[in-house]
Amino acid sequence: MLKSTNEGFSIVTALKACDESYKLILKSFRSALAEVKDDKDYESCSYDISSVSTDNLKDCLIALAFNKVEDPSISNGDKFVILFAHTADTIVDNCTNEQCYQFHI
Domain span at residue 87 reads: 9-102
Q: Could you tell me if residue 2 is inside a domain? A: no
pTM for the full predicted model: 0.78
The confidence score (pLDDT) of residue 95 equals: 76
Q: Confidence band (pLDDT; 50, 70, 90) for 22?
A: very high
Tell me the average pLDDT of the chain. 84
| Percentage of the chain modeled with pLDDT above 90 | 47
Provide mean pLDDT across the span 13-41: 91
For residue 88, being part of any structural domain is answered with: yes
Inter-CA distances, 103 with 2, 13, 18, 27, 55, Å: 42, 42, 34, 24, 29
Give me the number of domains the chain comprises: 1
